[in-house]
Amino acid sequence: MTKIIGLTGGIGSGKSTVAKHIASKGIPVYIADDEAKKIMTKKSVIQEIQNLFEENIILEDGQLDRKKIASIVFQAPSLLKKLNEVVHPKVKKHFEEWLKKHKDAPFIVKEVAILFETGGNLDCDKVILVTTPDDIKINRVMQRDNVNREEVIKRMKNQLSDAEKSKKSDFVVTNVKIEDTLIAIDEILNFLKIS
């Protein structure tokens, strides 16, 4: 039975870099956010999402206006919850299909930003949490997404704190220097291979 290793971390923690590193070792990695984005390009899903919003959130090319959606939902937690209720079951179904293709792997890694918030950790055999001091997170996201500090803090408030996530995680890696982080990740991977 393939073990499912959850990989999570708050916005700007560096979990995507860690996921790429794990994939470079030949370990199957499922990036839930990437799949969610693909699912949100399907016409039926676009319409389902539009139905949640009072204003138009569809661009001229027929795709969703992600920036507009983000600016709305990060100020309306109930709407964010409804959006997740549309997208997450579809991602879960896609993951189950993907997992069947990797049933011979001793373990796979499932990278999910809001693993604990959605209860996805309950489907995992172990969970790796990537943490980073808040000031580093904020600066990373401001540079990466070209948004202001307030916008990043708003997004962070929609996620559980690292302290809360740490209590529920099997492995916690603090990512300040990426070289040190990847060494710690390799040690965890070696442990998982022999356990």
Rounded CA separation 138/91 (Å): 27
* Residue 174 is labelled as binding a ligand: no
* Residue 13 is labelled as binding a ligand: yes
* Residue 169 is labelled as binding a ligand: no
* Residue 161 is labelled as binding a ligand: no
Rounded CA separation 80/66 (Å): 13
Rounded CA separation 181/14 (Å): 9
Q: In whole angstroms, how far apart are CA 97 and each of 169, 171, 172? A: 26, 27, 29
| Helix H or strand E encompassing 107 | strand 107-111
Q: In whole angstroms, how far apart are CA 127 and each of 7, 41, 186? A: 6, 29, 15
* Residue 120 is labelled as binding a ligand: no
* Residue 12 is labelled as binding a ligand: yes
| Angle subtended at Cα 15 by Cα 144 and Cα 184, rounded to the nearest 5 degrees | 130
Q: Which positions make up the binding site for ATP?
A: 12-17
> Which parts are annotated binding residues?
12-17
